[in-house]
Structure 1
Amino acid sequence: MKNSKILVVDDEEKMRKVIRIYIEKEGYGVEEASDGKEALNKIDSIDFSLILLDVMMPKIDGWTVCRKIRENSSVPIIMLTARGEEYDKLFGFELGVDDYITKPFSPKEMIARIKAVLKRSNGNNKTNADIIEIGALKIKPMSKEVFLENIEMSLTPKEFELLNFLAKKPEIVYSREQLLNQVWGYDFVGDLRTVDTHVKQLREKLGIYKKYIKTVWGTGYKFHLNH
């Protein structure tokens, strides 16, 4: 995806310039924003393939920017943070963050993560195009829409990917490790509780149909037809 345009959002000008140099060396286009407000304005007018988003910024912090983006867009987001605490990462994944890069980081790691996230995003857009209809549930992979009793559900990108993955092969049990690899990617840095968190959120949104996603104790999860 060499024609991809990436938005770099960081209040430190020196950091933005360094990131820009390495990203442009890989053939990607780059736009910069020095704070959350500027970032949201650019996102409204430019179609980005990926956003590198710093957490700690003036005016509007990265969490708030991420939340606002996810109201209307599934564009991949990689958070840039100086904090590596597990709570921050779990909070971010709940908001729909695709990956994390903890400062300080090597340019090589940054580029590897950008390529991996873009690859996953591009693959999700091109595959599994057939609409899935199971009972009250309808999943449209191409438009990333999910309808429950003909009412559209509001899902984060990762919630959608997890539900879509399980529903494509109902009654097949997947371990948490398998789901991390298939939905988040082999290069994902996180733990098994990330899967549990997303399953919990999906069940809450499914309401009376929460038993579509069944826990197989000691193994993992499956999409259950006879809910």
Structure 2
Amino acid sequence: MNILIVDDEKYMTSILKTYFQKEGFNVFAANNGEEALDIFYNNKIDISVLDWMMPKISGVDVCKEIKNISKCKVIILTARSENEDELKALNIGADDYIRKPFDPRVVILRAKKMLRVEKILNLDTLKIDFQSSKAFNNGEDLNLTKIEFQLIKCFCNYKGEILSRQRLIDLVWGLDYIGEERTVDTHINRLRDKIGRDLIKTHRGMGYSFEYED
């Protein structure tokens, strides 16, 4: 899923970007309305999170333009508290409206609900429950570790895409991780032992991908 996050407060953009990347989203970020529209026209964006008050072009005007040409979902963020502002945002096409300050986890939950992200994935005898952070094979709990579950969730979000070791480290361990890239191989081998070795494909010199039929 591709998400566009736009806010002229860079620390806010950075916080939301980190949270959404942890959830497996591919994040595009901008700090004003012009940058936002440039990214939107050059990439397939599934959902946009737009701050209302921005230089050059406001979030509301960006929302209006996005909605005029696409079905992209839009969440408006704002420090404004007037009910009339919420009505204005919804009337010009915004799908949701969140007042600042907010918990980033709330934004993620609303975005997932809007995109109807599945909570359970069934792959033959394997069941992955994203809500409880558990995986089962033939009904038996595989007792995945936190890292193993984050890996499988990341793979599911990027189904079919080759992810390098460094990319997996950024998404699962975090950007501040300090350690060997080969750590990824160890955890993937353990995960394969639990879920089966065919789902995770190795691409020599490139990384790993998660392959399954819908």
TM-score category, normalised to shorter length: 0.5 to 0.7
What residue in structure 1 maps to residue 8 of structure 2?
11
Pick from 96, 100, 103 the counterpart of residue 99 of structure 1. 96
SS in 1 for 2:116: helix
Report the CA distance between 1:97 and its aligned residue. Answer: 0.5
Cα distance between partner residues in 1 of 2:61 and 2:88: 12
1:193-212 mapped onto 2 (5 Å cutoff):
none
1:69-148 mapped onto 2 (5 Å cutoff):
69-119=66-116
Please state if 1:50 is matched with 2:50. Answer: no
The unaligned stretches of length 5 or more in structure 1 are: 123-227
Report the CA distance between 1:69 and its aligned residue. Answer: 1.2
SS in 2 for 1:71: helix
SS in 1 for 2:77: strand
Deviations 1:94-136 (A, max 9, x none): 111000111110122111111111118x9xxxxxxxxxxxxxx
Deviations 1:126-167 (A, max 9, x none): xxxxxxxxxxxxxxxxxxxxxxxxxxxxxxxxxxxxxxxxxx
What residue in structure 1 maps to residue 183 of structure 2?
none
Kindly tell me the number of residue pairs found equivalent between the two proteins: 118
What residue in structure 2 maps to residue 26 of structure 1?
23
SS in 2 for 1:47: coil
Deviations 1:42-74 (A, max 9, x none): 111100110000000001111111111122112
| C-alpha contact 2:90 2:97 (8 A) present in aligned 1 | no
SS in 1 for 2:69: coil
AA aligned to 2:98 is I
Q: Percent identity?
A: 42
AA aligned to 1:40 is L
Q: Which has the larger radius of gyration?
A: 2
Cα distance between partner residues in 1 of 2:115 and 2:99: 19
The TM-score normalised by the length of structure 1 is: 0.50
Deviations 1:16-48 (A, max 9, x none): 000011111111110001100010111111001
Cα distance between partner residues in 1 of 2:55 and 2:18: 24
Cα RMSD after superposing both structures: 1.4
The TM-score normalised by the length of structure 2 is: 0.53
